[in-house]
Amino acid sequence: MTVERDPFARPRWLVTVAVAVPLLGVADAVGPQPFAALGFAANLTVLGVAGGRALLGRAGLSAVERVTVALALPIAVLVLGTIAAAALRLHLDRPLWAALVALAAEGAAAGVLSGRGQPGEPGNPRRWRTMRPQGGRGILWGTSLTAAGAVLAAAVALSVWTATRQSYPAFSALSAVRVGGAERSVRIELTSEEAAPARFIVAVAVGGARPDSITLLLAPGVTWRKTVPAARSASVTVVAYRGTRSGVPYREVHLAPGGTR
């Protein structure tokens, strides 16, 4: 029976990991985003693999168990480490998480290094023989798995495509709130989420004064904003009409005198 390969048996590899972890941590903490993400992911991987090895060793654990620990340990360190940092009133940000993961990964690598001098554990027999196509079945395997991947890709594409174009009723939103320290003005917003560019007439009436009208052409997704002076004791009514004629109100908001503190 063959024995599983043990990468940690090679000291050079282990030393390389121990040296690389702080560098990856620096990249994670202050590097530009793609390198930061890569550094973070690399240190998480080291933490999971080396941490599992340092804590549980290798003998007696199946491959799935080792993978499970390698997946669980980084998650646990992030969860418990973040909560501990928060309890210490530290600000939670990228540098802190980079330092946390780098320290834990370095500790895990050091744990594996320190165990190297001890009597070695027996190597695991290679029990998880991989599934390999035999004889002339390679073509069947390749074809089937490629087709399965293609079908799954089609399923995802179909879902994304239909979710993107799922139609919801178009709408536009009109709002008005009193703003400013003394709240002597009103901020009016009209956001168009219509299916196509649309014309609006917005009529603003402050107190008993004659309404001021503004004509707008808004593209979908565009917000029009205007701030108008209005005493707090004055009521404000804003009406939006669709099109170029002020007929039936399309949207209407109103602020009661003294309302909207």
Partner 1 sequence: MSQKIAPARLPAASPAGPNRPAAAQAIGRHRRAGGDVGGPVAFPLIALLSSVGTLAVAAAYAAGREGWPDLSALYWPGQLLVYVPIALRAYSPRLTRPAEGFALLLLLFVQQTLLFRMYSPLALKYPDELQHWRGTVNVIQSGRLDQANYSLPPAVHYPGLEALGGALSASTGLPPTATAFIVAALLHLLLVCALYVLCLRIRADWRVATLACVIYAANPHFMFFDAMYIYQSLALPFLLLAVWALRLLRLPGRAAGRWVVLLIAIGVVTVSHHITSFVMVALLGSLAAAGLGRPRAARELRPVAAWLVATAAVLAWVLLVARDVVGYLAPVVAQLGDSATGLLHGQLGATAPGRAPLVEPLDERLATIGALGMLAFLVVRGSRDLWPERHAEPWTLPLIGGALLIFAAGGLRFVASDGAELSGRSATFIYVPVALVAAIVLHDIRRRGLDHHDTGRRGLALLGGATPVVAAAVILMGGVASGWPPAWDRLPGPYLAAGFERSVDPQGIAAAEWALSALGPGHRWAGDLTAYTLLATIGDQNTVRDGGVLFGGRGADAAASSFVKREDIQFLTVDLRDSMRLPASGGYFPVDPNAGRHRSPLPRTDLTAPDRVAGVSRIYDSGDIYLYDLRGSAYDG
Q: What is the DSSP letter of 3?
A: B
Decide: is 176 part of the binding site for partner 1 (CB under 8 A): yes
Query: Segment 2-41, which members bind partner 1 (CB under 8 A)?
Result: 28, 33, 36-37, 40-41
Q: How many CA atoms lie within 13 A of 141 on its CB side?
A: 8
Q: Are 164 and 209 in contact (CB under 8 A)?
A: no
Residue ranges in 191-210 that form contacts with partner 1 under rule CB under 8 A: 191, 193
233 binds partner 1 (CB under 8 A): no
Sequence-ordered list of residues with C-beta below 8 angstroms from that of 252, at least 6 positions apart, any chain? 174, 237, 238, 239, 240
Please provide residue 127's backbone torsions phi and psi, each rounded to the nearest 5 degrees: -95, -30
Contact letters for partner 1, residues 96-125 (x by CB under 8 A): -xx--x--------------------x-xx
Binding segment for partner 1 (CB under 8 A), chosen from 12-20, 102-110, 188-196, 211-219, is 188-196
188/40 Cα distance (integer angstroms): 45
155 contacts partner 1 (rule: CB under 8 A)? yes
* Candidate residues 76, 113, 203, 222; the one interacting with partner 1 per rule CB under 8 A: 76
DSSP 134-171: -GGGHHHHHHHHHHHHHHHHHHHHHHHHHHHT-----E
Considering only 4-12, 16-24, 166-174, 200-208, which stretch makes contact with partner 1 by CB under 8 A?
166-174
What's the min distance (Å) between Cβ of 251 and partner 1? 5
